[in-house]
């Protein structure tokens, strides 16, 4: 008997039900390979597929497969882009056919909780793309909104600061200290309580730890 697998399934399906009650489309997969296949089945040649800077999506290798399917890739995280080109791509991502990202946390009440720097990810999650697909590992599930922000400040934001090599105090403290730095990346705090009225959003919960 695999207790971890069973627990992930119970928790994952509980969140999926809560998300559906909040009018989101939601589905649980046991592992990221199944989730990846589900996403790829939704991508067609010529579609503009955007990447919202998610480590979860990156770890799944979807971009490479989308390119093989001859989708038009929009990824503002491409290292070769100049700052101006990056901004252009970020704007194009807002009107993509499919926007792929994760959520920093999902509550057991079926709410999506995120902290952004520019706000481009939460903007796209809310309105713009034809379709939004959000993938969240089981590690993103929290009890409630309060725990969601605690999780983000303890794990997601400090790790993103380290990844982006930001000179912010959380990279030394290991947790958020609500800094006043000019380089602060935590600027937009978002709670999506129900599926935004004009959006077409699917949330995939995966029974594995993905991203942070
Ligand atoms: S608010 Fe400042 S200290 Fe807190 S996680 Fe963001 S950048 Fe780091």
CATH code of the domain covering residue 87: 3.40.50.10420
How far is ligand 1, taken at its centre, from the CA of residue 171, in Å?
A: 9
**Would 153 be classed as within a structural domain?**
no
How far is ligand 1, taken at its centre, from the CA of residue 8, in Å?
A: 30
Evaluate whether 191 touches 116 at the Cβ level (below 8 Å): no
**Would 46 be classed as within a structural domain?**
yes
What pLDDT digit, counting tens, does each position of 134-145 carry?
A: 999 999 999 999
**Would 30 be classed as within a structural domain?**
yes
DSSP-assigned beta bridge partners for residue 27: 204
- Predicted pLDDT at 124: 98
Ligand 1 site residues (CB inside 6 A) read: 157-158, 161, 168-170, 176-179, 181, 184-186
In the chain, DSSP finds a helix count (H) and a strand count (E) of 9, 10
**Would 173 be classed as within a structural domain?**
no
**Would 91 be classed as within a structural domain?**
yes
**Would 211 be classed as within a structural domain?**
no
| Domain, as residue range, for 53 | 3-143+188-206
**Would 152 be classed as within a structural domain?**
no
The sign of the dihedral angle between the CA atoms of 157, 53, 127, 197 is: negative
Mean pLDDT by runs of 10 across the 212 residues of the chain is 96 98 98 98 98 96 98 97 98 98 98 98 98 98 98 97 97 98 98 98 98 96
Which residue's alpha carbon is nearest to atom 5 within ligand 1? 176
- Predicted pLDDT at 1: 87
**Would 182 be classed as within a structural domain?**
no
Total number of domains in the chain: 1
Tell which residue, 177, 201, 190, has the closest CA to residue 119: 190
Evaluate whether 180 touches 142 at the Cβ level (below 8 Å): no
């Amino acid at each position: 008997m695999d207790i971890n697998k069973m627990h992930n399934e119970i928790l994952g399906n509980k969140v999926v039900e809560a998300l559906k009650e909040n009018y989101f489309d939601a589905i649980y997969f046991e592992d990221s390979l199944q989730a990846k296949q589900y996403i790829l089945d939704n991508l067609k040649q010529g579609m503009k597929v955007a990447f919202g800077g998610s480590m979860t999506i990156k770890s799944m290798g979807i971009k490479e497969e989308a390119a093989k399917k001859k989708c038009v890739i929009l990824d503002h995280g491409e290292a070769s882009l100049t700052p101006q080109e990056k901004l252009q791509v970020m704007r194009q991502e807002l009107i993509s056919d499919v926007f792929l990202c994760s959520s920093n946390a999902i509550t057991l009440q079926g709410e999506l909780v995120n902290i952004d720097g520019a706000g481009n990810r939460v903007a796209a999650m809310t309105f713009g793309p034809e379709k939004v697909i959000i993938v969240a590992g089981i590690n993103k599930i929290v009890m409630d909104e309060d725990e969601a922000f605690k999780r983000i400040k303890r794990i997601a934001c400090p790790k993103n600061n380290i990844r982006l090599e930001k000179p912010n105090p959380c990279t030394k403290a290991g947790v958020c200290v609500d800094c006043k730095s000019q380089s602060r990346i935590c600027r937009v705090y978002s709670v999506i309580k129900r599926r935004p009225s004009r959006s077409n959003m699917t949330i995939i919960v995966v029974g594995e730890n993905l991203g942070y």
